[in-house]
Amino acid sequence: MGVEIERKFLVDHDKWGKVVKPTGTHYRQGYLLADSGRTVRVRISDNDAFINLKSKSTNVSRSEFEYEIPLEDGRAILDSFTTIGTEKTRYEIPHAGKTWEVDVFKGNNEGLIVAEIELESEDQEFEKPDWVTTEVTEDGRYTNAALAKHPFKNW
C-alpha cells in the first residue's frame, strides 16, 4: 500500500506569473467515487492515463493506490462513467531539493492556483518558494474531488 503525504498551498498569482516554468502537462480527471475521505479517480493527459484510489488517514496523509491504464480506456471511462471532474495544467517546479507540483485550474475552477509538496513524513521540514502563500492542507474545499463537486467559481 502506498502512502501519500502532502501539504497544499495557495499561490500568489503575480509572483507565479514571473516564475520561469517548464512545459506543463494538461490533465483532465473525473471521479467514480468522491465521498467523505475516499476517492476513485481517472486522470488522463495527452500521453497516458491512470486510475487512482485514495482514502484519508489524516489531513496530511492518505493511503494511495495508482495504476496506469491504456489511454483509450481512460478516455472511455471519463466519458462514460464520470459526471464530475476537473481540468488543469500541472507544472513541476524544483525548489530547495524538492519538487513542487503547481496546478493551474481551468473551466469551473479558473482562477485557482494550488501548489503541493510531497513529503517523506508529516513533520518533515521544507523551504517554501516566495510565490507560495497560505497553507490550505486542512481545508477540504481545495481537494480535487471537492473542486469537482463545488467549483471555485461558485465560492
Q: What is the pLDDT along the chain (155 residues), one digit of tens a residue?
A: 588 889 999 999 999 999 999 999 999 999 999 987 899 999 999 999 999 999 976 667 889 999 999 999 999 999 999 999 999 999 999 999 999 999 999 999 999 999 999 999 989 999 999 999 999 999 999 999 999 999 999 99
**DSSP SS3 for 121:** coil
The CATH number that applies at residue 41 is: 2.40.320.10
Is the CB of residue 38 less than 8 Å from the CB of residue 152? no
Residue 16's domain comprises: 2-154
Cβ-proximal residues to 19 (8 Å cutoff; 6+ apart), any chain: 93, 129, 131
Question: What are the residues whose beta carbons fall under 8 Å from the beta carbon of 104, sequence distance 6 or more?
Answer: 24, 88, 89, 90, 91, 113
Cα–Cα distance, 112 to 98 (Å, whole number): 22
Torsion of CA 110, 59, 146, 125, to 10 degrees: 10
> What positions carry a catalytic annotation?
31
pTM over 0.75: yes
The domain total for the chain is 1
